[in-house]
C-alpha cells in the first residue's frame, strides 16, 4: 500500500467511526427519578417572569418514593401525596400544611404561591441540575439541597 492509499484508508475508517460510532453525545434524561431527593426553591412566578426566592426563608421540597412529598413552604411545614411519571408529568394532591403566620415581608406571598404551584403542577424537568415544575401558568425552579 502506498502512503497516499494508506492515508485515504485511515481517513475513511476515522470518518466511519465518527459517523457511526460514539461521537453522538448521550442526552441526559430531562425527567430523572426524583425518589429520595431534596430541593430548595430558587425562583418562582410565571414562566418568563420569575422572582428570586427570599433569602433565609427556604421553601423546600423532598420526595419519599414517587408517592409522598414534604417540606417547608417558607413559614409552614407541608406534606402531601404526589404522582410522578418518567415522561415528565407530576401532580401533588392532599396537600396539608400548618397555619402559622409569618410577618417578614413577602414570606406569606411566596409561601402561598409555592403551595398553589404545587397544587397546579403538571410537568417537571431537570435542566442544568435545576428542577423545574410547571402547571397552571406557574413555575417553580429549585436546586438540590
Segment 93-140, tens digit of pLDDT: 999 999 999 999 999 999 999 999 999 999 999 999 999 999 999 999
Domain containing 71: what range? 38-144
pLDDT at 12: 54
The answer as to whether 114 is a domain residue is yes
The answer as to whether 25 is a domain residue is no
Neighbours of 62 (CB within 10 A): 17
Our count of domains for the chain comes to 1
Kindly report, residue by residue over 23-39, the tens digit of the pLDDT.
Answer: 434 445 688 889 999 99
- Residue 20 pLDDT greater than 50, yes or no: no
Give CA–CA dist 108/89, Å, rounded: 27
Provide the CATH number for the domain around residue 103: 2.40.128.270
The answer as to whether 10 is a domain residue is no
The answer as to whether 17 is a domain residue is no
| Neighbour-count burial for 70-90, b at 16+ CB within 10 Å, e otherwise | bbbbbbbebbbebebeeeeeb
pTM: 0.79
Amino acid at each position: 500500500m502506498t502512503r497516499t492509499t494508506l492515508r485515504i484508508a485511515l481517513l475513511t475508517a476515522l470518518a466511519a467511526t465518527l459517523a457511526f460510532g460514539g461521537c453522538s453525545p448521550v442526552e441526559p434524561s430531562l425527567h430523572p427519578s426524583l425518589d429520595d431527593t431534596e430541593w430548595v426553591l430558587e425562583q418562582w412566578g410565571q414562566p418568563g417572569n420569575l422572582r428570586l426566592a427570599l433569602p433565609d426563608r427556604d421553601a423546600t421540597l423532598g420526595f419519599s418514593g414517587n408517592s409522598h412529598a414534604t417540606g417547608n413552604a417558607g413559614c409552614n411545614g407541608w406534606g402531601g401525596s404526589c404522582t410522578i411519571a418518567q415522561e415528565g408529568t407530576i401532580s401533588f394532591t392532599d396537600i396539608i400544611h400548618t397555619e402559622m403566620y409569618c410577618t417578614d415581608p413577602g414570606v406569606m406571598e411566596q409561601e402561598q404561591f409555592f403551595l398553589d404551584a404545587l397544587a397546579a403542577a403538571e410537568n417537571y424537568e431537570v435542566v442544568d441540575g435545576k428542577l423545574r415544575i410547571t402547571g397552571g401558568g406557574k413555575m417553580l425552579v429549585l436546586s438540590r439541597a
